[in-house]
Amino acid sequence: MRMLEHTNVLKLKHCFYSTAEKDEVYLNLVLEFVPETVYRVSKHYVRMHQHMPIIYVQLYTYQICRGLNYLHHVVGVCHRDIKPQNLLVNPACHQLKICDFGSAKMLLPGEPNISYICSRYYRAPELIFGATEYTTAIDVWSAGCVLAELLLGQPLFPGESGVDQLVEIIKILGTPTREEIKCMNPNYSEFKFPQIKAHPWHKIFHKSMPSEAVDLVSRMLQYSPNLRCTALDACAHSFP
């Protein structure tokens, strides 16, 4: 974390070790203080029976993607746990910072990674399919789920288990093609899914939703990781 230096990434101020009664050693991190999370801000509007103002959704989306672009292309790190609880917000100025790098990793070509990573609602389909050589595109999927959640006021894919998570995704994106499954995990051989058509994106969101917002969600939530827009592409999109 010491090498992370970006306006949209939480800053490590200091670190030190301490010991407990059983001679266990603990690493203590001193981080900059940011009082709120995107999760709590979103829940505030839900309790008020309101949707988050689009201007805030745009602000948060841009900053998430800006921070991810820095992590992916400047530092070479995949966060692997992007979710509303890990996005801190200063309510005074709406500055957003990505936090919690406990699952973060530099993804090296040819080096296997664990697939059981990332919180369920925000887990990319290639992870559900057991891929171990995934890319930073898993963070873009997670960010797309966060964007959709801010627009809807509730999670887009609220799966109750790992398998159910895939069912929730298929309900909206439709059944993945054989080629899409190959792109997600070339080693996945089992292909027995009921054929379900994709649900049109414009029917998922309220008709008053800006078309640019729906378009960005659709670009971030593609089955094939190589077809998803990058974090930088999302920053340059007309919505945020």
Among candidate residues 89, 107, 109, 108, the one with its CA nearest the CA of residue 98: 89
Alpha-carbon Rg for the chain in angstroms: 18
3-class state of residue 180 by DSSP: helix
Contacts of 148 (CB under 8 A, 6+ apart): 156, 217, 221
Question: In this structure, are residues 134 and 124 in contact, taking their beta carbons and an 8 Å threshold?
Answer: yes
Beta strands at 25-31 and 12-19: parallel, antiparallel or unpaired: antiparallel
Cβ distance 142 to 135 under 8 Å? no
Catalytic-residue membership of 23:
no
DSSP 15-72: EEEEE-TTS-EEEEEEE----EEHHHHHHHHHHTT-PPPHHHHHHHHHHHHHHHHIII
Among residues 23, 81, 139, 164, the one annotated as catalytic is 81
Residue 62 corresponds to which tokens in the numbers above? 């841009």
Q: Which residues are catalytic?
A: 81
